């Protein structure tokens, strides 16, 4: 069985803690590798190596740091198929979805090539008599990121690319469920010209997370995952004086107005609700059709589409719609919530509980589910399911639908499907959610805008990627200077005529 490693100071390093976690093939349920789980001492070795390497990297001018990012983009494109296959093997995503995971991270790296422009400071000439004032953005030092299983390529690049472009060193603690791609990314960064020690990958669990949060050298921490863990990391990290941004759970609503193109809306719900087996923080998990007629027509369009979904391993070809969920525990939790929906009175229109794939009976596959007549008091509405389950709440009016989206504790993303510009504009202005789609089902901003939710979906005052990333990974220093003016060989008090 393959034994994975950490990546410290430019080398693959075996774990020394004696603790390991199993890495599964989600399609077969088999253990395919084991990954070491670092202790605090191993984390400290990585941090010290990063701290030793970082000052020289920060002294490299931004244009040369950007050239490393340029080369890294080329290497990502050259290795796209290899990265996607490794990602699919450990996560279970289809190959096109895995390639998209890499691509959306690559786009943030492309944005970071603009570091020379993004790191420019401000200057005021003659702010006072003989006084100039200017500001500069400087690297923090050693930064860290704790990333989730569902995007093992994209989210690490969302964090380490801007951090490194700003002149920091970075400690990446990826998910122990699918750790191979982060290790590959570290290798490619050094192949692109990054000095050893600037990007470290330390695998682990809560022990290594706590080591990050408590380490005095680490200046900032980024996290993406569930809301309870986001709250824990934010609280502990901030109490230790670190700059922290944490992104948590979601329950994303899509309002479908009576005037919407229902074929377009149904197609959008299929992709956004069931893509990646629903294991996306931007998945649409709640459909809010306005009016009984709209709801009836929407359900009629959804059912045949859902029943036609092809579920299977990534090795079955590019026509597979989604693969397994990541672990047996994730599958059990999804099915438990589905059972609660039935018990609490929701109508299970499409029942995927007995789904089984011949030849892959031990895999972590979950069939697609569609609930109708869901109410806000049900667990399937209140909790993030993180699986291929779509819940439908029938709203009597636009205001009722808007109120449901606004009153939920999560505020990551939301969408509306309508042909009416006034309704769309009102929705965008009023809804208290961070990312909005208007006739767009998964409103994930492009790399040069920022990504972040509201309410219990995000903790911290800056979003991921875009301009906010360059603010998060730097400190502003403001200098006020005065240089006495006058003739260098002594003052003269009489006005001299021009010769």
Query: Is the pLDDT assigned to residue 499 strictly greater than 50?
Result: no
Which residues, at least 6 apart from 125, have a Cβ–Cβ distance to it below 8 Å?
A: 132
Which DSSP string corresponds to 258-320?
TTS-HHHHHHHHHHHHHGGGG--TT-EEEEEEBSHHHHHHHHHHHHHHHHT--B--GGG-TT-
pLDDT, tens digit (0-9, with 9 covering 90-100), for 376-418:
999 999 999 999 999 999 999 999 999 999 999 999 999 999 9
Active site residue 281: yes
pLDDT, tens digit (0-9, with 9 covering 90-100), for 281-308:
999 999 999 999 999 999 999 999 999 9
Report in angstroms the alpha-carbon separations of 301 from 45, 253, 285: 57, 18, 17
pLDDT, tens digit (0-9, with 9 covering 90-100), for 97-153:
999 999 999 999 999 999 999 999 999 998 888 899 999 999 999 999 999 999 999
Mean pLDDT, residues 204-220 taken together: 98
Q: What is the pLDDT of residue 317?
A: 85
Which is the CATH superfamily of the domain at 2-248+457-481? Aldehyde Dehydrogenase; Chain A, domain 1 (3.40.605.10)
Residue among 116, 200, 129, 216 at smallest CA distance from 159 = 200
Q: What is the pLDDT of residue 495?
A: 55
Q: Where are the domains of the chain?
A: 2-248+457-481, 252-438
Structure tokens at 349: 């229109």
pLDDT, tens digit (0-9, with 9 covering 90-100), for 36-75:
999 999 999 999 999 999 999 999 999 999 999 999 999 9
User: How does strand 347-350 pair with strand 369-372?
Assistant: antiparallel
Residue among 337, 369, 330, 372 at smallest CA distance from 352 = 369
- Cβ-contact 457, 434 below 8 angstroms: yes
Q: What is the pLDDT of residue 493?
A: 59
Residue among 450, 488, 486 at smallest CA distance from 466 = 450
Q: Which of 143, 166, 246, 281 is catalytic?
A: 281
Q: What is the pLDDT of residue 442?
A: 83
CATH number assigned to the domain covering 252-438? 3.40.309.10
- Cβ-contact 82, 230 below 8 angstroms: no
- pTM of the entire predicted model: 0.94
pLDDT, tens digit (0-9, with 9 covering 90-100), for 437-486:
999 998 899 999 999 999 999 999 999 999 999 999 999 999 999 987 76
pLDDT, tens digit (0-9, with 9 covering 90-100), for 139-161:
999 999 999 999 999 999 999 99
Q: What is the pLDDT of residue 329?
A: 97
404 vs 495: which has the higher pLDDT: 404
Averaged pLDDT score across all residues of the chain: 96
**Helix, strand or coil for residue 185?**
helix
Could you give the CA distance from residue 164 to residue 144 in angstroms, rounded to a whole number? Answer: 11
């Amino acid at each position: 069985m393959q034994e994975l490693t950490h990546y410290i100071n430019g080398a693959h390093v075996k774990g020394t803690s004696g603790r390991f976690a199993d890495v599964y093939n989600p399609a077969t349920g088999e253990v395919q590798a084991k990954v070491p789980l670092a202790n605090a001492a191993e984390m400290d070795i990585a941090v010290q190596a990063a701290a030793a390497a970082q000052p020289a990297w920060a002294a490299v001018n931004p244009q040369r740091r950007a050239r490393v990012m340029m080369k890294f983009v080329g290497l990502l494109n050259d290795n796209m198929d290899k990265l996607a296959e490794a990602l699919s093997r450990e996560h279970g995503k289809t190959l096109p979805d895995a390639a998209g995971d890499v691509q959306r991270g690559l786009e943030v790296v492309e944005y970071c090539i603009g570091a020379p422009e993004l790191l420019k400071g401000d200057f005021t000439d003659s702010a006072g008599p003989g006084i100039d004032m200017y500001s500069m953005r400087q690297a923090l030092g050693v930064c860290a990121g704790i990333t989730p299983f569902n995007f093992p390529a994209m989210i690490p690049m969302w964090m380490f690319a801007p951090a490194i472009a700003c002149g920091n060193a970075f400690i990446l603690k990826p998910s122990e469920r699918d750790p191979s791609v982060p290790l590959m990314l570290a290798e490619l960064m050094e192949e692109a010209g990054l000095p050893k020690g600037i990007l470290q990958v330390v695998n682990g669990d809560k022990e290594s997370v706590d080591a990050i949060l408590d380490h005095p050298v680490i200046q900032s921490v980024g996290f993406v995952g569930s809301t309870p863990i986001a709250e824990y990391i934010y609280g502990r990290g901030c109490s230790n004086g670190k700059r922290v941004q944490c992104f948590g759970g979601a329950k994303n609503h899509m309002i479908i107005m009576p005037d919407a193109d229902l074929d377009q809306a149904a197609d959008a719900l299929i992709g956004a609700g069931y893509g990646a087996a629903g294991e996306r923080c931007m998945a649409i998990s709640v459909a809010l059709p306005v009016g009984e007629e709209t709801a009836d027509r929407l359900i009629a369009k959804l059912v045949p589409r859902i029943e036609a979904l092809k579920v299977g391993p990534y090795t079955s070809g590019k026509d597979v719609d989604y693969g397994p969920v990541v672990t047996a525990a994730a599958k059990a939790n999804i099915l438990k919530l589905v059972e609660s929906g039935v018990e609490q009175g929701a109508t299970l229109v499409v029942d995927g509980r007995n789904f089984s794939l011949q030849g892959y009976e031990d895999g972590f596959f979950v069939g697609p589910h569609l609930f109708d007549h869901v109410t806000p008091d049900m667990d399937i509405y209140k909790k993030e399911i993180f699986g291929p389950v779509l819940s439908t709440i029938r709203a009597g009016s636009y205001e009722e639908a808007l109120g449901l989206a606004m009153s939920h504790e999560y505020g990551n993303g939301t969408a509306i499907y309508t042909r009416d510009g006034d309704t769309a504009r009102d929705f965008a202005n009023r809804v208290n959610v961070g990312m909005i789609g208007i006739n767009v089902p998964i409103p994930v901003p492009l790399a040069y805008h920022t990504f972040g939710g509201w309410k219990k979906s995000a903790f911290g005052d800056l979003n991921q990627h875009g301009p906010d990333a360059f603010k998060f990974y730097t400190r502003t220093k403001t200098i006020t200077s005065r240089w006495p003016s006058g003739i260098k060989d002594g003052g003269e008090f009489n006005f001299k005529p021009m010769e």
